[in-house]
Structure 1
Amino acid sequence: MKLLSILGALALIGNAGVISPANAHPCGLDAACSLDNRVYRAKAPENWDGVTPLPVLIHFHGWKRDSKHPLKNPKVLKAINGNSALLVAPEGLRRTWDFWERNNRDVPFVRAVIEDVAKRFPIDRSRIYATGFSYGSAMAWRVACDAGDLVAGILPAAGTLYRQDGIDCPTGPMNVMHVHGFKDNVMDLPLSPDGSPNVAVELWRRTNMCAQEPDHTETLNGHTCLTWSTCQSGKEVMLCLHERGHIVPKGWISNALKRALERYQLGEGAFSRADEPSAATDSTSQSN
Structure 2
Amino acid sequence: MIMWRKFEGMKTVQLICIKMSCIMLFFVSGYAKGTQEEHTMQFGEEKTTYLLHLPKGYIQGKAYSLVVNFHGLGSAAIKHQHYCQLDAVADKEGFIAVYPQSYHQGWNAGLGFTSYIQGHDDIAYFNALLDTLEAAYSIDKNRIYVTGVSLGGSFTYRIACEMSKRIAAIASVSGLMSDSTLIYCTPERSVPVMHIHGTKDHIMRYTGMKQAFGAEEVVRLWALKDQCENKPDTVFVPNTSKKDHTSSILIKYTHCANGSEVWFYKIYNGGHTWPGAAKAFKLMGRKSKDFNGSQAIWDFFETFTLQTGVSMQTRK
| TM-score bracket, shorter-length normalisation | 0.7 to 0.9
Tell me which residue corresponds to 2:141.
125
* Correspondence 1:242-257 to 2 at 5 A: 242-243=267-268, 244-250=270-276, 251-257=292-298
Q: Scaled by the length of structure 2, what TM-score is found?
A: 0.68
- The separation in 2 between residues aligned to 1:81 and 1:221, in whole angstroms, is 25
Structure 2, unaligned stretches of length 5 or more? 1-33, 111-115, 209-213, 240-247, 277-291, 311-316
Point out 4+ residue stretches in structure 1 off by more than 6 angstroms: none
Cα-Cα RMSD: 2.7
CA contact (8 A) 2:232 2:252 kept: yes
Where do 1:228-267 residues align within 5 Å? Answer: 228-243=253-268, 244-250=270-276, 251-261=292-302, 263-267=303-307
Cα offsets for 1:32-91 (capped at 9, x unmatched):
222322222211112223442210000001111122234434622112112211111122
Extract unaligned runs of 5+ from structure 1. Answer: 1-20, 271-288
Alignment of 1:171-182 (within 5 A): 171-172=187-188, 173-182=190-199
Moved more, 165-174 or 35-44: 165-174
* Conserved 8 A contact 1:144-1:174: yes
Partner of 1:162: 178
Counterpart position of 2:219 = 201
Aligned-residue sequence identity (percent) comes to 21
Q: Which amino acid aligns with 1:257?
A: W
- The residue number in structure 2 matching 1:17 is none
Aligned residue pair count? 239
Change (3 A) 1:94 1:257: same
Could you say which structure has the greater relative contact order, defined with CA pairs below 8 angstroms and 6 or more residues apart? 2
CA offset at residue 231 of structure 1?
A: 1.9
CA distance in 2, matches of 1:159, 1:151: 18
1:92 lines up with 2:102 in the alignment:
yes
How far off is 1:220 after superposition? 6.3
What does 1:1-288 correspond to in 2, within 5 Å? 28=37, 31-36=38-43, 37=46, 38-73=48-83, 75-100=85-110, 101=116, 105-163=121-179, 166-172=182-188, 173-190=190-207, 198-211=216-229, 213-218=230-235, 223-243=248-268, 244-250=270-276, 251-261=292-302, 263-269=303-309
Shift in alpha-carbon separation, 1:167–1:181, aligned structure 2, 3 A: same
The Cα shift of 1:176 comes to 0.6
C-alpha contact 1:60 1:132 (8 A) present in aligned 2: yes
Which structure has the larger Rg? 1
Partner secondary structure for residue 155 of structure 1: strand
Q: Does the CA-based 8 Å contact 2:84-2:274 persist in structure 1?
A: no
Q: TM-score, normalised on structure 1?
A: 0.74
Q: Distance in 2 between matches of 1:220 and 1:168?
A: 35
What is the SS of the residue equivalent to 2:196? strand
The CA deviation at 1:190 is 3.2
* Aligned residues of 2:198 and 2:206 also touching (Cα < 8 A): yes
Of 43-52 and 110-119, the range deviating more from structure 2: 43-52
- For 2:40, give the aligned amino acid: C
**Distance in 1 between residues matched to 2:203 and 2:84, nearest whole Å:** 23
